[in-house]
């Protein structure tokens, strides 16, 4: 059986893992790692794969891996990438092409900072899509005092616009953010996101591209 994102999104097992992750991370007070984040990462991973010229099958693989990458969080945050890969392969190893199941499991594991090994272009696309998702809509609480007290919430809440563009001619991938400095300052932003931007740079370099970051129209990298 050939896997498709459409089918994965309707799969009751995958939906149960995502629902459980949503419940678990809400209790821990984390930013969104569920359908909002998964939709964005999945669309972005497919967009990058398509713009850099990967084949349709690789684009679909990127979109599926991106949709499933955070679904293991309900079994523990630290190893969530392993759990997600294991859950994915448990579901599909007897139903789908074993090569596709292996590739997707590998991409899921490699999205996390502790195991960030880029072994193929699909992995690089998913890493950029995941690490570039910073936005106000990721913050779950509406309480401004709570938002200001937590650096992750503060930095995400400060980002009111987020665009990712791939230029195949210039070989650049550019993340443009609008930052509301009422909620955070550049130091906060860098304390949280320097690491993420390094991963994006590494992943873009693997694809033969350079990664640029623009904040409030100022080019920072």
Q: Interface with Fe ion by CB under 5 A: which residues? A: 70, 130
Q: Rg of the chain over CA atoms, in angstroms?
A: 17
Pick 108 or 213: Cβ nearer Fe ion: 108
Pick 31 or 201: Cβ nearer Fe ion: 31
Helix axes 121-131, 98-110, angle to 10 degrees: 40
Place of tokens 């930013």: 31
Pick 106 or 210: Cβ nearer Fe ion: 106
Residues facing 219 on adjacent strands: 214
Q: Give the Cα separation of 86 and 72 in Å (integer).
A: 9
The CA-atom distances, in angstroms, between 21 and each of 137, 152, 173 are 18, 19, 30
Q: Give the Cα separation of 97 and 13 in Å (integer).
A: 18
Q: Least distance in Å: CB of 126 to Fe ion?
A: 9
Q: Give the Cα separation of 88 and 164 in Å (integer).
A: 28
Report whether 175 contacts 134 (CB < 8 A): no
Q: Least distance in Å: CB of 66 to Fe ion?
A: 8
Pick 150 or 216: Cβ nearer Fe ion: 150
Pick 34 or 94: Cβ nearer Fe ion: 34
Q: Least distance in Å: CB of 196 to Fe ion?
A: 10
Pick 86 or 210: Cβ nearer Fe ion: 86
Q: Least distance in Å: CB of 208 to Fe ion?
A: 24
Q: Least distance in Å: CB of 72 to Fe ion?
A: 8
Classify residue 132 by its DSSP letter: T
How is residue 215 written in tokens?
């904040």
Residues facing 164 on adjacent strands: 175
Q: Least distance in Å: CB of 132 to Fe ion?
A: 10
């Amino acid at each position: 059986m050939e896997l498709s994102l459409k089918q994965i999104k309707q799969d009751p097992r995958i939906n149960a893992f995502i629902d459980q992750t949503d419940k678990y991370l809400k209790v821990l007070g984390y930013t969104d790692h569920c359908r909002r984040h998964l939709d964005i990462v999945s669309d972005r991973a497919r967009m990058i794969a398509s713009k850099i010229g990967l084949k349709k099958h690789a684009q679909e693989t990127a979109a599926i891996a991106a949709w499933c990458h955070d679904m293991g969080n309900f079994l523990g945050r630290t190893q969530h990438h392993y759990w997600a890969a294991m859950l994915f392969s448990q579901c599909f190893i007897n139903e789908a092409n074993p090569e596709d199941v292996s590739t997707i499991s590998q991409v899921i594991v490699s999205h996390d900072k502790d195991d960030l090994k880029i072994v193929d272009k699909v992995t690089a696309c998913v890493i950029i899509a995941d690490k570039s998702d910073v936005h106000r809509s990721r913050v779950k609480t509406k309480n401004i005092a709570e938002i200001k007290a937590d650096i992750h919430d503060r930095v995400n809440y400060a980002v009111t616009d987020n665009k990712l563009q791939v230029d195949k001619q210039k070989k650049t991938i550019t993340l443009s953010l609008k930052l509301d400095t009422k909620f955070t300052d550049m130091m906060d932003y860098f304390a949280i996101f320097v690491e993420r931007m390094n991963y994006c740079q590494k992943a873009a370099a693997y694809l033969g591209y350079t990664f640029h970051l623009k904040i409030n129209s100022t080019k920072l990298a």
